[in-house]
Structure 1
Amino acid sequence: MNQSDIHLLDLPDELLLAILKKLSNIDVLYSLLDVDNNRLDIIAQDKIFTNTINLTSIDEVILNRFCKYILSRIHHNIQYLILESSLINRVFHARTYPKLTHLKLIQFDQDIVLQFFNDKSSIGQTIKQQITDLTLIYNDTNDIIPILKDYTINVYARIITFFENLKHLNIKGSSITAYPGVLLYDLPSTIFASSILTKLCINVATFNDCLYLLDGRLNQLNSFTVRVYDVDAPSLIVHNKNNLLKLKYFSLTCHSHIYTYDNRIIPLLHRMLNLEQLVLCLTVRNRNGLIDGTHLQNEILIYMPFLKIFTFDIRTWNIINGSLPTLSNDDIQQTFSNIRYRQIGCTVRYFSTNSVLCHIFTLPFTFDYLQCLTNHFPNVSFNHVLYLSICDISPFEHEFFIRLSHAVPLLKHLTVTNSTAQKCKSQEQNNNQSYSIIEFKHLNFLSVMNADISYTEQFLLDTRTSLPCLTELRINYEYLKTVTHDFTKDATRLNCTLYMIVWLPCVICFVITLFTPVPFVTALYGAYLSYYQYIACLLSLFACVLGSFEIRQVMRNTPLVRPAIQPTAQRLQQQT
C-alpha cells in the first residue's frame, strides 16, 4: 500500500480513538455523528466523548444540531451537563438523561430557582432525584439588593431541599463581584440543613453565618469552601464550639479587612483536628504582631496533625508602635524554616505613615485575586491572578508597570491607589526621553479614581501603555479632561475607544446643565458639587460613553460655568 493511499479510516480503532481524544468532544460529535459511516458513528458515541457535554461558548448552528439530533442519540450516556441557564428548556426538552448526576449552570440567578427547581416544573421533576453534584455560576444582575434573609430561604434553602440526593453544592461568582451571601441569623436550624451534603462552596454575609453552617445542620460535611463578606460583624449568640472531626478540607476567603482575626478565625481553626487541606486568603488589620511562619506554626499547624496541604495569601497591616521590632524580608522568611508544606514568598513594606504591611504567600501563587501589591513585590510570577489592586505612597514608575505586565500576564481587572506623582513624567519632559510601550493584553477594567493624574497619563497615552481590551475605566473627570486635552488629543484615542465607561464624579450635574440650563441648577453645580465631587458619585453611579465623536464634540463645545464659592456673609451683603 502506498503511503499516499492511507486514509483516516484505514487506521485501527485504537489509533483513531487516540487521535480523536486530542479534539474537543463537541467537535467530534458534531463532525462524525450521522455521517453515513457506521464505524465513525460507533466511535463518536463512545463514553469518552459522551459522558460530559459542555454546551457553552458554541455557535448557534452547532447548538441547534445538538438540541435537534445529537442529544437524542447520546442521551443515555450523558452524566455531566454544562450549559447556560437560558438553554435549560431546549436541552431538557430534547430528551431525558437517565444517567445525569452532575449539572453545571452558567449565569444562574434566582429566577432559575423559581422557574425550574420546584415540583410543578416537568424539568424539575426529572432532575430532583438524579442530581448529586450541582454547580451554579452566579450572574444575578438585578440592581435591587435583595433582603438576604428572604433570599436565603427562597433560593439557597430551596436548592438544598429540592434536590433530594444532593451531595456536592458549589455556588460561585467572580472574585471581584459578590452575589447575595447566605444570611442565617434568626432563622431556624432546619433552614439550609442536609444529612447527606458532603461538599459545599458558598458565600456568606458574615462570619456568624459561617459558624451557623458548621453548627451541625450539615452533619456529613467534609469539604467547606467559604467566602465571608464581613468577619467582624458582632455575634449575639453563643455558637456551637464542638470539634469538626469530619472536616477534611477548609478554604476561607475574605477580601475585607479583618480586625478580629485572633478572636474569631483562630478559635474556629482549632476545632478542625482532622483537617488535611487548608486554604486561607485574608487581610488582617491592627493585631499585636505580624502573621509570619512562627505564628502559623504555633497557632494553627500544631492543632492539625493530619494536615498535608496548606495554601495561603495573608496580609497583616499594622500601626507601628514601640513594642514591634523592625523586620526585614529575610527575617520573615526565616520564620518559615520549619514549615515544609510549600515554597514561601514574603514582603515587608514600612510606610512613612507609621504603618507596616507584611505579605506572606505560598508558591506557586494559585489565587486569582491579589490585594495591596506595592513597589516592593518580589520577582515571582502571578500567573493565575486576574484581579489586582496596587497601592503605595512611593510613586509607581514606568518600570514598575513593565514588571507588573510580565508578572501578572493574565490581568483583567486593575485598581491603582497612589496619590504621589510619577517622577518619570518630569524626567521625560526635561530629557525628551521615550519609554517602551507596556501592553496589558487582557485588561478590561481599570480604576485610577484614587490615583494622581500622572497615572491617568500612564495608562491613557498610547506612547506609554497599550490596552487593547479595555472596556471600563473609572477615572477622575477633571484628570481625564486634562490628559485628553479636552477630549481632542490623538494619543489617547486608542485607549479611549467606544464602549469605554468612565465614572464621572460631577457628571450628573454636568448632564443636567446640558439639557436644563436653569440658573439654580447651574449655580448648584458650580458652587457646591464641583467642590464636593464624590457626593454626586455616592448619590448616583453615573456613566458616560466617550468613544463616539459626537459625544466628544458636545463635551468640547459645551461651556462649563462654575461660579466661585463666596462666603455666605458676602453673598448676603451683596443681596442687601
Structure 2
Amino acid sequence: VNERFNKIIYDPIFTSRLSFPQLSFNKYIKKFSSDIILNRFCSHILPTIRTKIKWLDLEYESMKNILDAADYPNLYALGLYNIEEETVKCLFTDERLSASNLKNQITTLIISIDPDKNERSTMINICYYVFNVFINLTHLTFYDAAHQNNARLLFDVQTFDVCLYILDGRFEQLHTLDIELANILSPSEIENQRKIPNLKYFTLCCMARIWYYDESILPLIYRMSNLEELGLSFTTAVKETFVDGNDLKQNILNHMSQLKHFTFDIRSVMCINNEMNLPSKEDIQRTFDDFPYANIISCMDYFLEHKEGLCHIYSYPFLMRRFEDVTSNFPGGLYPYVRVVSLYDEHPCEHESCYSNISTISMYGKINYQ
C-alpha cells in the first residue's frame, strides 16, 4: 500500500494541482477529517512534493497550515475558498508570506468569499489586501460559490468602485478581465484615467440600470487602447437619443483601433413626450448599415402609459447568459447560452401568442417576468 501511495504522491499528474476544499451546501469545507491528519500531511508529505506543486486550492481553516508547511518554488496559482475578511487580513499580513517569493510567484488567484459575509465593504477590503500582496497577477477570479460558475475569469462584484480598484494600474500584465456588476451608482472618485495597454479581452455586465453611461463606462473603455475583444451588456437611461449604431461607432469603435471582436447587448431607456420625433425600429437598424462587427438586431418599443421608450440592440449570435427586457416585439432566434430571461411590458400578457417567439430562449433557461 505504501509503495502504491508513494507512486501516486510523486506522480506530477496528481501533485501539480492539489485541491483541499470540497463544496457542501454552498460552502467550502476542508477534506481533512481531523487536525492530526492535516498536521501529518503538512509535516510528512508536502515537504517531499513541494517542488512538483504548481496550483493549490485551499479553504480558510487549513490554508495557513499548508502555506507554512513548505516553500513552493513552482507554485503560480492559488485558490482561496470560503474566506472571510479577517482570514485574509491575517494571512496576507503574515511575515512569512510577505518575506517569501510567493507574493511574486502567484500569477493566478481565485477567491471565494464566505456567502454569509459577501458584503460590499468585505469585498473592497479583501481587494485591498490582495492587490497589495500579489503584485504580478495576470488572472484574478472572484468566485461565487452559491452560483457555482467558474468557467471564465470573472469578478462578480457589487459596485463599480471594485472594478476601478482592479484597473488602477497595479496589475500591469493583466490581459483578460470579465466583470459582472450589481450596479453603477454614481461617478466614482477613484482614479479612472491611467492607460491599461496590456488588457486584450474585456467583458462588462451590469445587472441594474445605469444612469452614468457617459461618465463611467466610456472613460473606462478609453483606457484600454489595445483591446482586441470587447463585450458589453447593460441597460442605461438616456435623455435625448438612444444608444444606436452611430453612438457605438462614435463613442467606442473610433477609440478602439485594435478591436477585432465586439459583442454587445445594450438597452437604452428614454422618457418620452408627444412632441418628440421618435425613431422606428427601421431607423435604428439603419444606423448599423456599415457596422463592421457581426449581425445586429434592433428592437424598438414605446410604452405610452409609462411615457417610456426602450431601444434594445444586440449582436447576433447572442453570447450572453442573460436576456433582459424581452417584449412582445421579440424577433425570435436561437440563444443557446442564455440562462435567465426577463419579460417587460405595460400589461401582463394573457395569451401565449404574445410571446410565441420566446420559446427559443425559454427552452434553455429560466424565465423571470417583470
What is the TM-score when the length of structure 1 is the normalising length? 0.50
Question: Do residues 256 (structure 1) and 208 (structure 2) align?
Answer: yes
Query: What are the equivalent positions in structure 2 for 1:554-569 lying under 5 Å apart?
Result: none
Tell me, yes or no, if the aligned pair for 1:82 and 1:104 is still in contact at 8 Å: yes
Query: What are the equivalent positions in structure 2 for 1:516-555 lying under 5 Å apart?
Result: none
Distance 2:98 2:218 in 1: 44
Match of 2:309 among 356, 366, 370: 356
Tell me, yes or no, if the aligned pair for 1:382 and 1:408 is still in contact at 8 Å: no
Distance 2:107 2:18 in 1: 17
Distance 1:409 1:334 in 2: 31
Distance 1:392 1:378 in 2: 15
Question: Do residues 205 (structure 1) and 176 (structure 2) align?
Answer: no
SS of the aligned residue for 2:310 comes to: strand
Distance 2:342 2:220 in 1: 29
Match of 2:290 in 1: 338
SS of the aligned residue for 2:246 comes to: helix
Question: Do residues 52 (structure 1) and 7 (structure 2) align?
Answer: no
Question: Do residues 381 (structure 1) and 334 (structure 2) align?
Answer: yes
SS of the aligned residue for 2:315 comes to: strand
Query: What are the equivalent positions in structure 2 for 1:51-450 lying under 5 Å apart?
Result: 51-55=16-20, 63=31, 76-86=51-61, 88=63, 97-119=72-94, 127-142=102-117, 148=121, 152=124, 154-163=125-134, 165-173=136-144, 201=155, 203=157, 205-206=159-160, 210=163, 214=167, 216=169, 218=171, 221-234=174-187, 241=193, 243-321=195-273, 322-328=275-281, 330-353=282-305, 354-396=307-349, 397-398=351-352, 404=358, 407-409=361-363, 411=365, 414-417=367-370
Query: What are the equivalent positions in structure 2 for 1:2-17 lying under 5 Å apart?
Result: none
Gaps of 5+ in 2: 148-152
Give the structure with the larger strand fraction.
2
Q: What is the one-letter code of the residue matched to 1:361?
A: Y
Tell me, yes or no, if the aligned pair for 1:175 and 1:387 is still in contact at 8 Å: no
SS of the aligned residue for 1:393 comes to: coil
**CA displacement 1:234-253 (0-9 Å, x = unmatched):** 5569x564654444333333
Match of 2:150 in 1: none
Distance 1:317 1:47 in 2: 55
Root mean square deviation of aligned Cα: 4.5
Bigger relative contact order, structure 1 or 2, given CA contacts below 8 A and separation 6+? 2
**CA displacement 1:478-533 (0-9 Å, x = unmatched):** xxxxxxxxxxxxxxxxxxxxxxxxxxxxxxxxxxxxxxxxxxxxxxxxxxxxxxxx
Gaps of 5+ in 1: 1-32, 177-198, 418-576
Tell me, yes or no, if the aligned pair for 2:210 and 2:237 is still in contact at 8 Å: yes
Distance 2:54 2:183 in 1: 38
**CA displacement 1:19-41 (0-9 Å, x = unmatched):** xxxxxxxxxxxxxx978599xx5
Distance 1:172 1:58 in 2: 13
Tell me, yes or no, if the aligned pair for 1:108 and 1:139 is still in contact at 8 Å: yes
Q: What is the one-letter code of the residue matched to 2:361?
A: A
Q: What is the one-letter code of the residue matched to 2:140?
A: L
Distance 1:118 1:256 in 2: 36
Distance 2:195 2:339 in 1: 36
Distance 1:124 1:402 in 2: 63
Cα gap change, 1:105 to 1:268, in 2 (>3 Å): closer
Q: What is the one-letter code of the residue matched to 1:231?
A: I
Cα gap change, 1:284 to 1:106, in 2 (>3 Å): same
The count of aligned residue pairs is: 352
Displacement of 1:79 in angstroms is 1.4
**CA displacement 1:316-363 (0-9 Å, x = unmatched):** 1122344443312x5444433323333333322222323222222223
Tell me, yes or no, if the aligned pair for 2:341 and 2:368 is still in contact at 8 Å: yes
Distance 1:405 1:107 in 2: 38
Tell me, yes or no, if the aligned pair for 1:388 and 1:411 is still in contact at 8 Å: yes
Distance 1:54 1:297 in 2: 46
